[in-house]
Structure 1
Amino acid sequence: PAPCPPACLSSDPTLFPVLPPAPRHQDPSSTRRLRAWGGLVGAVILTALWLLWLLGSDPGGVLEPQPVVTILIWHWPFTDRPPELPGDTCIHYGMAQCRLSANRSLLASADAVVFHHRELETQKFHLPLAQRPPGQPWIWASMESPSNSHGLRHLRGIFNWVLSYRRDSDIFVPYGRLEPRSGPTPPLPAKRRMAAWVVSNFQERQQRAKLYRQLAPHLRVDVFGRASRRPLCANCLLPTIAQYRFYLSFENSQHRDYITEKFWRNALAAGAVPVVLGPPRATYEAFVPPDAFVHVDDFSSARELAAFLVSMNESRYLRFFAWRDRLSVRLMHDWRERFCAICAHYPHLPRSQVYEDLEGWFQA
């Protein structure tokens, strides 16, 4: 072999490889061009390496398409006639590669099966335990409170995941949420009356009924719904409530995270200030700004609450709507959207998880 030139024996790293000395008066534009070409070459190399990493698991060099997740709904909530479920149903809710079906013949091949509790509770149908494929996740779904969910003790050790309004659910689906506003802020409806309440199931033993009885002598409350024999049609509900300054967003029972359409639709979406009876104030503040509602727990009595509402001036009242300049209400009442949400969580949920005491978890 030819002897190594002196330069390669030097310990100075700048001498390897050996380059001819640059001219003393090198053109600056040439230097810039060289640097630009060097940056471009580096970017090309990095891009090529990234693509090779993506394609490395595929000998053919083609990206594998994501598999479609099939969610079987064993019985559609509250009806014997499920809606049409075309293949692109979940795409409308921002979820691709997700298929909903109510076809029970898919039990053996479905990626997960959903069971709505009301139909289990009323024994309208039974669980197909004998036909359950090994390892198939089963999902318990309910948007009702524990006070209105019975028979949970019979469902021990069956379900892997839970879909509900509880924030610690495997698939968390609230009744509504606030989203950044994309358009101009709509004008606040003109207010002509003080307070409204829509109630169909009025029971004296409920906390909301007791609070109403205490509040009524001090505050004018117009009551609508079947309980007062003044029902409102679907298209009449929001325009009627919009005329009122306040709406009594009283939940039928007080449980962890239980905030329903009484708050999201009947009050916020209608443009009335919600007066809430439900979980603690901190729970509401996890969803909306703290000055967007009135919480009954902030007052020592119903009379004090009524005095606060009646004596409120206009500037103080308008502060309850400051959020409307940047946020809008998104109602999430469609069961198709709720079931499509399963696919977003599906890859990350534990397959080995089992609710051995579903009743104990839900009532906690």
Structure 2
Amino acid sequence: MHHVDIMYDKRSVPQEPRPHFQHWVWFNMEPPLIITNLHWLDGLFNMTLTFRKDADIFRPYGQLIAFKEPQNITIPTKSKLVAWVVSKFYPGVWRTAYYEELKKYIPIDVYGKGHIALSWDDFNKTISQYKFYLAFENSVFKDYITEKLWSNAFGTWTLPVVLGTSRENYERFVPGDAFIHVNDFPSPKDLAMYLLELDKDDEKYRKYFNWRSRYYVKNGGGWQLSYCQVCMALKNGPHYQVIPSIAKWFLGNGTSS
């Protein structure tokens, strides 16, 4: 059951007595900022399916798969500097505040509602022209690393500048030299100076792409994959369990170091 589809009305959850052989799976790909009413779920679900690696069924937004042999790579030609595609541009919130300070020291092209128009058909062709992409998450939460990194940055062969969970958390899923983390710099000004330095040093810039000779990016896929993951988990014969509190598990263990 997809949480966003049941969180506004408790009656969205089936009300009839459940057959003893039926497993309920809680499916959620959003951070606590987006979802609500987790307390409704106490004692109802048997399995979790989320982006959290400690879920019963792990469903990341993307992952790296190792090549059998090292590959030769070619970085697309870059003619532009920094891009950010954002659908929810809220003045004053933390990622927007960071952007507002960063843009004082380096030019940034912003795409999305209220900014430069960009269709999905033109997304890859447009963003691949940039050296850097602001992969700014809307929340700091354990393992919450979304398409902003996997599709928007890695998928277009731009170098992601990430803002979200900790560097240590990112490095559970991608090499440490595959991205730049805002936390590595004392201020947005220092980050901007480093990006401008990389812009002038092709050899140093290319080092951030060395991992691509060893791994390729596999995006999370559609909902069909989630259903397949559930079927596989059930086929493997899960032991019977009831999760007393989704809220306690998801919120209590979700803080990011």
TM-score, structure 2 length as denominator? 0.91
Picking from 160, 180, 183, the partner of 1:274 is 160
2:10–2:40 contact (8 Å) kept in structure 1: no
1:201–1:227 contact (8 Å) kept in structure 2: no
Matches within 5 A, 1:133-172: 133-172=19-58
Letter in 1 for 2:156: A
User: 1:333 and 1:222 mapped to 2: Cα distance?
Assistant: 28
Structure 2 gaps of 5+ residues are 253-257
1:248 Cα shift?
0.3
User: 1:204 and 1:348 mapped to 2: Cα distance?
Assistant: 49
Partner of residue 209, structure 1: 96
1:355 aligns to 2:243 (yes or no): yes
1:119–1:125 contact (8 Å) kept in structure 2: no
User: 1:292 and 1:255 mapped to 2: Cα distance?
Assistant: 20
User: 2:237 and 2:183 mapped to 1: Cα distance?
Assistant: 38
1:252 Cα shift?
0.8
1:218-256 per-residue CA deviation (whole Å, 9 max, x = no partner) reads 11110001142x332112111111000000000011101
User: 1:234 and 1:336 mapped to 2: Cα distance?
Assistant: 21
Q: Is the alpha carbon distance of 1:131 and 1:232 closer, same or farther for their aligned partners in structure 2, counting shifts above 3 Å? A: farther
User: 2:43 and 2:173 mapped to 1: Cα distance?
Assistant: 32
Picking from 95, 109, 134, the partner of 1:222 is 109
1:191 aligns to 2:78 (yes or no): yes
User: 2:244 and 2:92 mapped to 1: Cα distance?
Assistant: 32
SS of 2:106's partner is coil
Structure 1 gaps of 5+ residues are 1-114
Partner of residue 255, structure 2: none
1:249–1:263 contact (8 Å) kept in structure 2: yes
Instruction: Give the stretch that moved more between structures: 339-348 or 297-306.
Output: 339-348
Letter in 1 for 2:221: H
Partner of residue 325, structure 1: 213
Partner of residue 148, structure 2: 262
Q: Is the alpha carbon distance of 1:231 and 1:125 closer, same or farther for their aligned partners in structure 2, counting shifts above 3 Å? A: farther
Higher relative contact order (CA 8 A, sep 6+): 2
Partner of residue 61, structure 2: 175
Q: Is the alpha carbon distance of 1:284 and 1:151 closer, same or farther for their aligned partners in structure 2, counting shifts above 3 Å? A: same
Picking from 285, 306, 310, the partner of 2:196 is 310
1:58-83 per-residue CA deviation (whole Å, 9 max, x = no partner) reads xxxxxxxxxxxxxxxxxxxxxxxxxx
SS of 1:237's partner is helix
Q: CA RMSD in A?
A: 1.7
Q: Which has the larger radius of gyration?
A: 1
1:164-191 per-residue CA deviation (whole Å, 9 max, x = no partner) reads 0000000001011111236954521111
Q: Is the alpha carbon distance of 1:236 and 1:181 closer, same or farther for their aligned partners in structure 2, counting shifts above 3 Å? A: farther
User: 1:188 and 1:124 mapped to 2: Cα distance?
Assistant: 50
Partner of residue 175, structure 2: 289
Q: Is the alpha carbon distance of 1:213 and 1:185 closer, same or farther for their aligned partners in structure 2, counting shifts above 3 Å? A: same
TM-score, structure 1 length as denominator? 0.65
1:207–1:253 contact (8 Å) kept in structure 2: no
Letter in 1 for 2:143: D
SS of 1:148's partner is coil
User: 2:51 and 2:91 mapped to 1: Cα distance?
Assistant: 26
Partner of residue 129, structure 1: 15
Partner of residue 337, structure 1: 225
1:170–1:349 contact (8 Å) kept in structure 2: no
1:135 Cα shift?
4.1
Query: For this pair of structures, how many residues does the alignment match?
Result: 248
User: 1:232 and 1:165 mapped to 2: Cα distance?
Assistant: 27
Instruction: Extract structure 1 runs of 4+ deviating beyond 4 A.
Output: 182-186
User: 1:316 and 1:297 mapped to 2: Cα distance?
Assistant: 20
Letter in 1 for 2:166: P
